[in-house]
Amino acid sequence: MPLYVLIIVMPATIVNIMLEKLEIIKFWLRASLLARFLQLIDVTQSGVASMKGSWRVGRICGIVIAIHYSWFVIFGGILVTLAKMYFPNYHPDWSETTYWLVGTATATLFFASVLLHELAHSLVAIRLGIPVRDITLFILGGVANIRKEADSPTTELAVAAAGPAASVGLAVLFGGTWYFSAGFSEQIAALSFYLATTNGMLALFNVIPGLPLDGGRLLRATLWRLSDDFRRATRVASTSGRVIGYLFILTGVGAALIGSWLNGIWLIVIGWFLQNAAESSYQNSLAYSLLKDVSVKEVMTTDCPTVEEYLSVKELVESYVSKYNMVAFPVVHGRRLVGMVTLDSLREVPQQDWEQTFVAEVMTGIENIKTIHPSERADQALEEMGEREISQVPVVDGGRIIGLLSRSGVLQFLKSKERLSA
């Protein structure tokens, strides 16, 4: 028996034994019948940090491909569903080994299809000048993290349409394979049929017109072109997304009430995810449009406290740390910025040494910190901060510190600007 057959059949035998023993596994199995419908969500996000707990598997055309650990649950779920229920149901005469081999091939090609859908979005985005950070597969589907919003409705339309178009293409491809293989290979035909229908559903589900789904982006691009008002178009598309999210939740509650509570819970999870993502994509787009063409100088905080380098750690803790809600303080010599001192670095100093230790000894020197010029663009600066996971950056002009760019400061700026324009 070749090695790959062993690798697939061995776990299959173990699963068989567990299935007989554990009621809960059967339960999971029944639940994951739904798994077929689960991997349907895909989101193109901007301005959002990559998912934590993701494993980088490689790069395609410069885009990092990552797998979130929750994805393994769904992969296992779909594989077991295919091998233990789906194929045995339609083809009772196949051998156990065949079920697992065809199941593994189908599940793998299915996730490759999801990846191709995301890649289609990403490659069109890159082509139109929007950099893509990564593509992450997770329990609900795939996410393509783009670095910024589209700058015209045409770009938005092209990026959004690419994913569903790829899925339709795959559905047609697998449909054709099913049609032509039916005569000579039952296995290839069964695999192709499954992939044709799932890719078709993937395309259909994602054109539901609400953000953050592809359909929501198509809707926004259309409204944006018609009204020339990006913010209003975003508001409509994200409200629609939230309504769709609530409808999923309501349907889930209904399903749970009539006894189908596993399906119910899953619909509620999807609804909750959609509703949340609709809200956050609205906030992101709003921030993006408000920060466009704004310089760092306009959004920085100017009343930030600075500490002198000859201050002792004791004085720093007593007069600054307890007074200001900040994780790092700019250190100055006169008005010249010489470094930053963080709360983390203070924690490394034993309390009995606080009086004899000076800020200059524990700070990170100017050569090792990120600074920014007041004339730089605010949106680009924030993007970089998000990527490097820093929450505040000193704004420096000619060696002197003139302010601090922080996420909370920018949030303040956004709130006041939104109120003014509302």
Interface residues with Zn ion (CB under 5 A) are 42, 163, 206, 214
Q: Which of 256, 260, 170, 253 is nearest to 206 (CA)?
A: 170
Look up residue 247 and give its amino acid: L
Least distance CB 206 / Zn ion (angstroms):
5
Least distance CB 223 / Zn ion (angstroms):
19
Identify which of residues 134 and 214 has a Cβ nearer to Zn ion in the complex: 214
The encoded tokens of residue 200 equal 């078709």
Identify which of residues 42 and 156 has a Cβ nearer to Zn ion in the complex: 42
Task: In whole angstroms, give the CA distance from residue 271 to residue 241.
Answer: 10
Task: In whole angstroms, give the CA distance from residue 355 to residue 312.
Answer: 6
Burial status of residue 94 (CB atoms within 10 A of its CB: 0-12, 13-18, 19 or more):
middle
Query: Which single residue brings its beta carbon nearest to Zn ion?
Result: 163
Least distance CB 142 / Zn ion (angstroms):
8
Please name the residues in contact with 360: beta carbons below 8 A apart, sequence gap of 6 or more.
309, 310, 331, 338, 339
Identify which of residues 199 and 206 has a Cβ nearer to Zn ion in the complex: 206
Task: In whole angstroms, give the CA distance from residue 239 to residue 255.
Answer: 24
Identify which of residues 113 and 263 has a Cβ nearer to Zn ion in the complex: 113
Identify which of residues 139 and 404 has a Cβ nearer to Zn ion in the complex: 139
Least distance CB 243 / Zn ion (angstroms):
20
Least distance CB 106 / Zn ion (angstroms):
21
- Specify the length of the chain in residues: 422
H helices present in 292-377, as ranges: 296-299, 313-316, 343-347, 359-362
Residue for token pair 């250190």: 331
Identify which of residues 167 and 392 has a Cβ nearer to Zn ion in the complex: 167
Identify which of residues 215 and 264 has a Cβ nearer to Zn ion in the complex: 215
CA angle (151 as vertex; 166, 273 as ends), nearest 5: 60
Task: In whole angstroms, give the CA distance from residue 123 to residue 116.
Answer: 10
Least distance CB 354 / Zn ion (angstroms):
54
Q: Which of 177, 197, 172, 198 is nearest to 187 (CA)?
A: 177
Task: In whole angstroms, give the CA distance from residue 13 to residue 97.
Answer: 10
Identify which of residues 195 and 402 has a Cβ nearer to Zn ion in the complex: 195
Least distance CB 50 / Zn ion (angstroms):
18
Least distance CB 361 / Zn ion (angstroms):
52
